[in-house]
C-alpha cells in the first residue's frame, strides 16, 4: 500500500492507495498532522511506502514522523518523472505542478492535456501529445481574490465564496461576488480558448478545492477531478520505486 501526502497552502490532504485504487482519503489542518498520520498507520498496517508533496506547510520533523512507519520519498525537482520536462527553470517548478503533470501524462499519454488546478493559487499546466511538459501559468485563486480586495482596500468587506445570481451586482457584496466569480470563470474560459487554438483535440482537466464550484461555470468541455493531484503523487511514488 502507498500513502500519498499533499501539503498545500491551506490544508493537508492524504490518501491510501492499493495499486491505483484509493482506499482512504481525508483532509485536515497542519496542527493535526501527527495525530492523523498515526491513526492512518494504525488502520492500514500494510503501508510500506509514502510520498510527500509539500509547498511549505510541513517541516522536517513532520516528515520524520512518517519515516518512522515506512519508506518516504519527498517529492522535488530531482525526482524522476515519466514526462520530458521542458520547463526553463525546472528547479523552481512546484511539486504540486509536477504531480499534476504526471497525472496528466498517465491519464492521457498520447494526447494534449491542460490541467487547471483551482486551489489557493490557480495553475495551468500543459502536457503535449509527445509527453512533454511545456509549462503554463499561475494566477490568484478564488479565496485569494476575495482576500486581496479586502486587504488592499480600506472599506471592502472580506467575503466567502458564493455563486452569483446575475453578473450585474446591485450591491457592494454582490458586485464583489460578480467580479471574483465571473472574473475567474472568464479567465478559465479565455485560457482554454487560447490553448484550443494551438493544440489539437485538447483534453482539459479541472482539479483542486474549487474545481466542482467552477466546473459548472465553464463553457468548455472539461473533466472535473478534485483528487487528480493525489493520483499523480501515487503514480510518481510507483515510478520512483523503479
Q: Which domains are present in the chain? A: 2-74 (3.30.420.40), 84-233 (3.30.420.40)
Per-residue confidence of the chain (242 residues) as pLDDT tens digits? 999 999 987 789 999 999 999 999 999 998 899 999 999 999 999 999 999 999 877 888 999 999 999 999 999 999 999 999 999 999 999 999 999 999 999 999 999 999 999 999 999 999 999 999 999 999 999 999 999 999 999 999 999 999 898 999 999 999 999 999 999 999 999 999 999 999 999 999 999 999 999 998 887 778 999 999 999 999 999 999 86
pTM reported for the whole predicted model: 0.93
115 assigned to a ligand binding site: no
Q: Are 79 and 67 in contact (CB under 8 A)?
A: no
The DSSP code for 156 is P
- Give 201: exposed, middle or buried? Use CB within 10 Å, 0-12, 13-18, 19+: exposed
6 assigned to a ligand binding site: yes
Sign of the C-alpha dihedral computed for residues 128, 133, 134 and 138 taken in this order:
positive
239 assigned to a ligand binding site: no
61 assigned to a ligand binding site: no
Q: Which of 48, 59, 62, 96 is catalytic?
A: 96
Q: Is 125 a catalytic residue?
A: no
Q: Are 85 and 97 in contact (CB under 8 A)?
A: no
* Paired residues of 224 in beta bridges: 206
Amino acid at each position: 500500500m502507498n500513502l500519498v501526502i499533499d501539503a498545500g497552502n491551506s490544508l493537508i490532504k492524504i490518501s491510501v492507495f492499493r495499486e491505483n485504487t484509493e482506499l482512504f482519503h481525508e483532509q485536515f489542518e497542519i496542527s493535526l498532522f501527527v495525530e492523523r498520520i498515526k491513526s492512518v498507520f494504525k488502520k492500514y498496517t500494510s503501508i510500506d511506502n509514502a510520498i510527500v508533496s509539500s509547498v511549505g506547510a510541513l517541516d522536517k520533523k513532520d516528515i520524520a514522523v512518517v519515516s518512522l512507519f515506512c519508506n518516504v520519498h519527498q517529492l522535488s525537482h530531482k525526482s524522476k518523472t515519466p514526462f520530458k520536462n521542458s520547463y526553463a527553470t525546472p528547479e523552481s517548478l512546484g511539486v504540486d505542478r509536477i504531480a499534476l503533470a504526471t497525472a496528466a501524462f498517465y491519464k492521457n499519454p498520447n494526447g494534449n492535456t491542460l490541467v487547471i488546478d483551482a486551489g489557493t493559487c490557480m495553475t495551468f499546466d500543459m502536457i503535449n501529445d509527445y509527453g512533454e511538459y511545456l509549462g503554463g501559468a499561475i494566477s490568484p485563486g478564488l479565496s485569494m481574490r476575495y482576500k486581496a480586495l479586502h486587504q488592499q482596500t480600506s472599506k471592502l468587506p472580506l467575503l466567502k465564496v458564493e455563486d452569483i445570481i446575475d453578473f450585474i451586482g446591485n450591491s457592494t457584496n454582490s458586485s464583489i461576488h460578480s467580479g471574483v466569480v465571473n472574473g475567474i470563470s472568464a479567465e478559465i474560459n479565455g485560457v482554454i480558448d487560447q490553448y484550443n487554438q494551438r493544440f489539437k483535440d485538447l483534453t482539459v482537466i479541472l482539479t483542486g478545492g474549487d474545481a466542482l464550484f467552477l466546473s459548472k461555470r465553464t463553457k468548455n468541455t472539461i473533466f472535473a477531478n478534485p483528487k487528480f493531484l493525489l493520483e499523480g503523487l501515487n503514480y510518481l511514488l510507483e515510478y520512483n520505486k523503479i
